Amino acid sequence: MVGKKKTKKVAKPARKSKRAAHARAEKNSHNLVLVSTRKGAWLFHGNAARTNWRADGPHFLGQIVNHMVLDPRDGKTLLVAASTGHLGPTIFRSTDLGRSWKEVTRPPAFRKVGDGEKGRTVKRSFWLAPAHANEPGVWYAGTSPQGLFRSEDGGQNWDAFSGLNDDPQYRAWMGSEQDGTPDGPMLHSIIVDPRDPKHLYFAMSSGGVHETTDGGKNWAPLTDGMEVVEGFEVKNLAFHDPHCVQLCPSNPNRLYQQNHCGIYRLDRPSKTWKRIGRAMPKEIGDVGFPITVHPRDHDVAWVFPMDGTTVWPRTSIKGEPCVYGTRDGGKSWKRLAKGFPKSQAWWTVKRQAMAADCNDPVGLYFGTTSGELWMSRDEGGRWDYMARHLPEIYAVETAALK
Amino acid sequence: MQVYIPTPLRSYTNQPFVEAQGPTLGALLTDLDRCYPGIRFRMVDEQDQIRRHIRIFVNGLPSFDLAHGLQPADEVFIVQALSGG
């Protein structure tokens, strides 16, 4: 009896202090890392110093979550693009940081075709992008197979955007289902110019990079300078495979791109991409999926190089993971691998799974297909893992909580 | 008539058996969607095809056709059909 009481006495304050620590972490919580995986979603709440993280999840355990994004305009609306092995794709919405979720009314879906016509079916919503800061409640979504959708009511109802989904020329560039990635062809990297809500970019794997300056009435390809796999015709946009495109918030005239065939930079109004990956070490090359840019310095970007030789292993090169960073717009690159395993770590980082926060110094985050979540508090100088043993990570996003 | 709901769709119905009506399978699913908004699109795509990993049995026999006629006493089982890790 006495022993039991003693245990209770010890246990109680411990629980209390744990609760108090949680409450403190919550109160001082400034950083949020949103992790989407093949089997659910997690929210990692971090203190201002980014030294303590609390895992909130799984949300949607077992569901395929391709993307989870917090609306930067209201700081509270979360949208999640989800599907399951059995069920069709949908979007869930939360306005209380994931304490409760509600399915939206009408998720993205292609036009129903008439008899004799072959219609398309959205297999998954792949990419979610909040529209311009002056367009509250407006969102864009890119799907697999490729489609572009827009919601004007905070993600509740989605409609095809701009006629692109049925445009014969764009359908030709989108190619067949065989022309896509192993997970299907996808429309991604939907980018809104912070100076102009009518100026948008998007990319397709495969199908190239495209731009509109009139809110989607007209689109034009933006692929000059981009290379394609040897043996394919560079003039055929269906063979262009941009993996990830990012616009620099500090200079909206500058875009960076990680392509199937190299790392590129584009400085508008130029329409020609420059292959800055040529400056990467020969033994590393410039193949990869994600690219992340600095929130305040347009000369700074990071990539996770992968093995694109022989049968395209898409692992870290030689099993030695490394991030490469440039601080001069791609003229030179530096290996950033302190803290990573030195051998036998065959990671793959998918195109949505690397992100930067807005702190100073910038925090970098990425998730691996083997379920590890890594972070650096000093722009890649030193890496630590935040979580291990998660399901395959598809996407990582950051947000600063107000 | 009674409709069996598989576990992936129980978040909509909160129970394994629900009542729904309709002269065809398509009408039945539309009626289900009226009671449980969103449930139909998870089973039937935008081209009105039953999704690949959903199977529907009427009185024990598989049906892939939304025009399949139904009688009030029929039993409809919706089941999940997917393997893998």
Domain ranges of chain B: 2-80
- Which residue type sits at B56? I
- Mean residue pLDDT across chain A: 93
Contact between A84 and B43 using a beta-carbon 8 Å cutoff: no
pLDDT at residue B49 tops 90: yes
Residue whose entry in the numeric block shows the structure tokens 């650096």: A376
Q: Which of A246, A248, A326, A316 is nearest to A288 (CA)?
A: A316
pLDDT at residue B27 tops 60: yes
Nearest C-alpha of chain A: how many angstroms from B78? Answer: 11
Contact between A87 and B44 using a beta-carbon 8 Å cutoff: no
Beta strands in A38-123 (DSSP E): 40-47, 53-59, 64-70, 78-83, 90-94, 102-103
Q: Least CA distance to A87: which residue of chain B?
A: B42
- Six-digit token string for A212: 């509109």
Residue whose entry in the numeric block shows the structure tokens 């989870």: A68
Q: What pLDDT, on a 0 to 100 scale, did the predictor assign at position A15?
A: 54
Residue pLDDT, tens place only, A122-179: 999 999 999 999 999 999 999 999 999 999 999 999 999 999 999 999 999 998 777 7
- Which residue type sits at A329? G
Q: Is the peptide bond before A361 cis (omega within 30 degrees of 0)?
A: yes
- Six-digit token string for A286: 């410039």
Which of the 8 DSSP states describes residue B70? -
Lowest mean pLDDT among A18-22, A49-53, A110-114, A148-152: A18-22
Q: Which of A363, A354, A331, A91 is nearest to A244 (CA)?
A: A354
User: What is d(CA A140, CA A165) in angstroms, rounded to the nearest whole number?
Assistant: 13
**Whether the Cβ atoms of residue A69 and residue A62 lie closer than 8 Å to each other:** no
Q: What is the mean pLDDT of residues A204-233?
A: 96
The phi, psi pair for A101, rounded to 5°, reads: -130, 145
Which candidate in A86, A103, A106, A149 is best for mutational testing of the B interface (most B CBs within 10 A)? A86
Q: Least CA distance to A39: which residue of chain B?
A: B85
Burial A128-164 (b: 16+ CB within 10 A, else e): bbbbbeeeebbbbbbbbbbbbbbbeebbbebebbbeb
The phi, psi pair for A250, rounded to 5°, reads: -80, -15
**B64 CB near a chain A CB, below 8 Å?**
no
Question: Chain B, 8-47: which have a CB under 8 Å from a chain A CB?
Answer: 8-9, 37-38, 41-47
Q: How many CB atoms lie within 10 A of CB A176?
A: 10
Beta bridge partners of A292: A302
Rg (CA), chain A: 22
Residues from A in contact with B at Cβ < 8 Å: 84-88, 90, 103, 105, 107, 109-113, 119-122
Task: Report residue A290 CA to chain centroid gap.
Answer: 8
pLDDT at residue A292 tops 60: yes
Residues of A in contact with B67 (CB under 8 A): none
Contact between A84 and B8 using a beta-carbon 8 Å cutoff: yes
Residue whose entry in the numeric block shows the structure tokens 């980082």: A349
Q: Which of A27, A53, A68 is nearest to A384 (CA)?
A: A53
Q: What pLDDT, on a 0 to 100 scale, did the predictor assign at position A175?
A: 80
Nearest C-alpha of chain B: how many angstroms from A218? Answer: 26
User: What is d(CA A155, CA A140) in angstroms, rounded to the nearest whole number?
Assistant: 9
Nearest C-alpha of chain B: how many angstroms from A348? Answer: 19
Residues of B in contact with A84 (CB under 8 A): 8
Q: What number of C-beta contacts closer than 8 Å exist between A and B?
A: 51
Say which CATH class B2-80 falls into: alpha beta
- Six-digit token string for A318: 């030689």
- Six-digit token string for B65: 């056709």
Contact between B82 and A85 using a beta-carbon 8 Å cutoff: yes
pLDDT at residue A71 tops 80: yes
Q: What pLDDT, on a 0 to 100 scale, did the predictor assign at position A24?
A: 56
Q: Which of B59, B70, B20 is nearest to B40 (CA)?
A: B20
- Which residue type sits at A246? Q
Which of A117 and A35 is assigned the larger pLDDT?
Answer: A35
**Strand pairing class (A147-151; A251-259):** unpaired
Residue whose entry in the numeric block shows the structure tokens 């600063």: A400
pLDDT at residue B81 tops 70: yes
pLDDT at residue A20 tops 90: no
CA atoms within 13 A on the CB side of A358: 12
Contact between A86 and B46 using a beta-carbon 8 Å cutoff: no
Q: What pLDDT, on a 0 to 100 scale, did the predictor assign at position A21?
A: 57
Distances in Å between the Cα of A213 and the Cα atoms of A88, A165, A396, B71 are 33, 18, 29, 56
